[in-house]
Structure 1
């Protein structure tokens, strides 16, 4: 608890920020503090998410009757992000260069607390009363804030959104892509897939991991009525301080490269539809599926986007049949991320060994076929005539 991250120590003059030692075994200068984080999200057009410390850690807890300072801390953070210039913390935000509110919408109550095995510490019974206390106070002060529980609290306590974390082998993700979320009870809370990556057989960021994650993303996108947000983790690493693998982006003082997993995230993010369309695939009897697809539509221009993952060692030729198509789809772009081997990785010496390639896509014709290379993620995007 003594080393807990305190947002109030991360604002103001960088030279005066005390920094803190963290559980990953290195010191953080907090040069990227709370204000810079909010500013970065605004500049990127992304939604920031603040994670509230609930007074729990692996080694010690704040007793329930000593929880008030922790609750007040998150209320102050929301005021800093969203408060008027006339408020205490809103005035400090304005002084630091941002008079207008940042419009923070999401607050997660804890991180991996109550799981019984994680660094967040404690059991479900330890977490639930703390979650409830934070939830009630946040909602009383800021009803529009969307709160996120870090474990499934139902049926004991209601939750708006639940954060799920998965670090498994590739086969787990391939299997989970088929029906795990399709069978999710729609009466339960929405899901924020806050951390996930192929861990056990993902090497230092190999193609096997990228394929498993891409397959999983087809399921997350297909079930967008339940999955409100996703975020890959971890994202950045410096080899001199690496404590976890894989990571999406590796950098040092002069160089940087993205792992195949980074390219998967970039491809899915830049080809995100507004509407998900029903997708049917021919059934397979394989114990671990190898072929996955999801389709969607952009409302503004009518682009049709088809994402296909082929994790097998053979090319797969598939017929694309669109039902209920009105009008015509013109030429488009095919973007393919593929590798010669499941163990292929990018490195400082070969930063683009596995990288997306684009080609022209002919206008859609009824019953057209497309060959999907082995070990590949393919995005077919047709434009509306």
Structure 2
């Protein structure tokens, strides 16, 4: 028996998702802090300003947390399906739980439905929506403004993407906004990775189409040109370290250098562990299919490409034939039935969540 080679072109959930799979899976927002931030600060401000909010505050807040956590289970649905589900369920909840026909009550009901929609999508995507309205005046060139940057880039990408369709294909405004939002998710990842000086993940890039790949690189380049963004928490910690420095410290820069080296060492060790876990998963995937297929001599020089969706617990949620020899693909699809692998860490799950696999013998 010849051992086959499975060439894994690993991707992440950040690729433009399709709504074709229907099984449940952890979403990109698996680490979203739904209990404390189901929606953005701007979103909370928009509803707390309403006069009717205080009487219903706990009910609405609990619902936003619940909707946000529910969004985490929609990782395999694709953006369009997730958006439709969020819109339907948020309106249904608001109509059922916030009664009254006065102008104030209707305004509260509409605002709650709006925020519940975003809460569920935040759980799905890991982002923090809704965004504040864009400023009329363009921000200074020196300002690090990822949302403003990605609004422009994603709009341009959406227009270009639509221009590639056949002339007889018409795209509605909601469809255009959906396409733009998907490019915006890719852009935000790129601009933040660039600003944090995170090396480009080639496996992530391999999972993007040509337009999305260009969006990522453009955003990454813009982010890398700005000084690294530091949170208020980081600034406070650094200020505290300076204020506590002793008078006997003869080399104030030494501790910073030592701390940087320690952090670099920890990060390098973490990356090695991730790489090791990823290699182990790739090996276990290859071996599992080899054992189930058995004698592969009849498939000599034949190929099959499939797309596999995994849950973080290691279950194969779905497998779809992409191209290749019909008989070989049929055998591979049957072999995947009931397969179970070890649970994956968050980092490795981002790599193997939605994985194209090429089988050849």
- Asked if these proteins are the same fold (TM beyond 0.5), I'd say no
Higher helix share: 2
Structure with more contact order per residue of length (Cα contacts < 8 Å, sep ≥ 6): 2
TM-score (normalised: structure 2) = 0.21
Higher strand share: 1
